[in-house]
Amino acid sequence: MTILVTGGAGFIGANFVMDWLAAGGEPVVNYDKLTYAGNLESLASLKGNNSHVFVEGDIGNYDTALATLNQHRPRAIVNFAAESHVDRSIHSPGEFIHTNILGTYQLLEAARAYLATLNEAEKAAFRFLHVSTDEVYGSLKANDPAFRESNAYEPNSPYSASKAASDHLVRAYHHTYGLPVVTTNCSNNYGPYQFPEKLIPLMIHNALAGKKLPIYGDGMNVRDWLYVGDHCSAIRAVLDKGRLGETYNIGGWNEMPNLTVVHTLCDILDAERPRADKSSYRTLMNFVPDRPGHDRRYAIDASKIHKELGWKPAESFETGIKKTVRWYLDNQAWVGNVTSGAYRQWVAKQYQ
């Protein structure tokens, strides 16, 4: 028995693979295209582990995906593979259409062909778990109730629109072809191994380098923050006990404005890694023009997964963010290796 994890060299995927194997799960076939956000260094702890097999491949390549499935005969697919950064989707939407929509379609087709080769018991046990985002639901006003699984989709960026399309394809393949799927929609993840283009690792990286901390608009855009380890445990629960065809929202019950997140990071760094001149990292904060179509608030109602599957997050934002900052302080070599010249050019372009 084995599972196939797509996008398993990316931030959430790599954390899931390591978490899965540490928890004693069956072997993992890790299928990743190795784009800029896919990093085999994140999986260095698995070197020599016979329970981890890496395959470089694109979910948009039907032949390679199907050949991998037929060779390794997994009992489940966990699909993390996606382009996931809103800012990049604004500049280059085509890449998001290719991977998130067309790639998901090809992977679904490969899974459907593979399913046809299984016996009845194997078919009954097989699962296709599709990992998505809360951004498909659009934006909330300050006093709106949190997103529930029944909320209408109202995506506002090329990224969220491409993920919404992929969610619809997964749903359609279940209802049309009987593909045994479950979908998860998570809130903002943070934690170890996150590429420093997202808010938390970007702020840590810039602060330690003495660079400005760019904050969009007034900094009052609200997000729900989910520690990546909690996300991994939720996915395990959905894969194990989730009802076919259902969607489960995964959230951290930690809503807060971006400005509060940055303040928290600065305060932790002031204590953990004081600046030479003793000034606060808060002095590096720099408000920049807001990005186009910036959603004001996301919030996840994760009561369904708690009631049905007994899952709830183990980390508060306070505990999770301290673990995250400590990891980045202890792993500066990893950060240095991923922040290449191309990364620096991207940041300069985005926050000019």
H helix and E strand count, the chain: 14, 12
Q: What's the CA gap between 160 and 162, in Å, rounded?
A: 5
Handedness of CA 90, 93, 99, 101 (dihedral sign): positive
- Which one is catalytic: 134, 197, 255, 301? 134
Residue 167 neighbours by CB distance under 10 Å: 21
Q: What's the CA gap between 346 and 92, in Å, rounded?
A: 12
- Which one is catalytic: 105, 114, 137, 159? 159
> Residue 247: beta bridge partners?
183
Q: What string of H, E and C letters represents the secondary structure of 284-318?
A: HEEEECCCCCCCCECCECCHHHHHHHCCCCCCCHH
Residue 265: helix, strand or coil by DSSP?
A: helix
Catalytic residue status for 159: yes
Catalytic residue status for 135: yes
- Which one is catalytic: 58, 135, 167, 230? 135
Structure tokens at 260: 């509060």
Residue 281: helix, strand or coil by DSSP?
A: helix
Q: What's the CA gap between 167 and 170, in Å, rounded?
A: 5
Catalytic residue status for 343: no
> What is the rounded (10 degree) CA torsion for 345, 346, 350, 352?
-10
Q: What's the CA gap between 284 and 29, in Å, rounded?
A: 43
Which residues form the catalytic set? Answer: 134-135, 159
